[in-house]
Amino acid sequence: MKRERVTNLYSGRVQGVGFRYTVRTVATGFEVTGTVRNLDDGRVELVGEGAKPELEEFLVAIRDSEVGRFIKNEQTNWSEAKNEFRGFEIAH
């Protein structure tokens, strides 16, 4: 199946609440690779690669997790996978 890339920007109270660690934990249940990191403007950026249905389920699982209540808005952008990730990590 064709791999795709999703870039998701989360806003709300998404820093200082364990958001990145929860996303990394949720990722272990999915066939996805990528990174999650805090941005200077208070948002969190997730970049993930995998099959589109798998990525879509991953994004839903994040919203359904204990940090989902802190998300006020999401911006999602789909593109072609670049295959540059080995696992799923917290980027600094």
Is 90 contained in some domain? no
Among candidate residues 3, 24, 37, 38, the one labeled active-site is 38
Looking at residue 92, its pLDDT comes to: 81
Residue 59's closest CA among 8, 3, 2? Answer: 8
Assess whether 38 carries a catalytic annotation: yes
Tens digit of each residue's pLDDT (9 = 90 or more) over 13-45:
999 999 999 999 999 999 999 999 999 999 999
Q: Which two tokens stand for residue 14?
A: 């998404």
Q: Which two tokens stand for residue 85?
A: 């990730």
pTM of the model: 0.95
Mean pLDDT over all residues of the chain? 97
Is 91 contained in some domain? no
Longest pairwise C-alpha distance within the chain: 36
First-last CA distance in the chain: 31
CATH assignment at residue 66:
3.30.70.100
Is 30 contained in some domain? yes
Looking at residue 12, its pLDDT comes to: 97
Residue 86 has pLDDT above 90, yes or no: yes
- The fraction of the chain above a pLDDT of 90, given in percent, is 98
Cα gap 30→72, rounded to integer Å = 24
Among candidate residues 5, 8, 20, 43, the one labeled active-site is 20
Cα gap 45→23, rounded to integer Å = 11
Assess whether 20 carries a catalytic annotation: yes
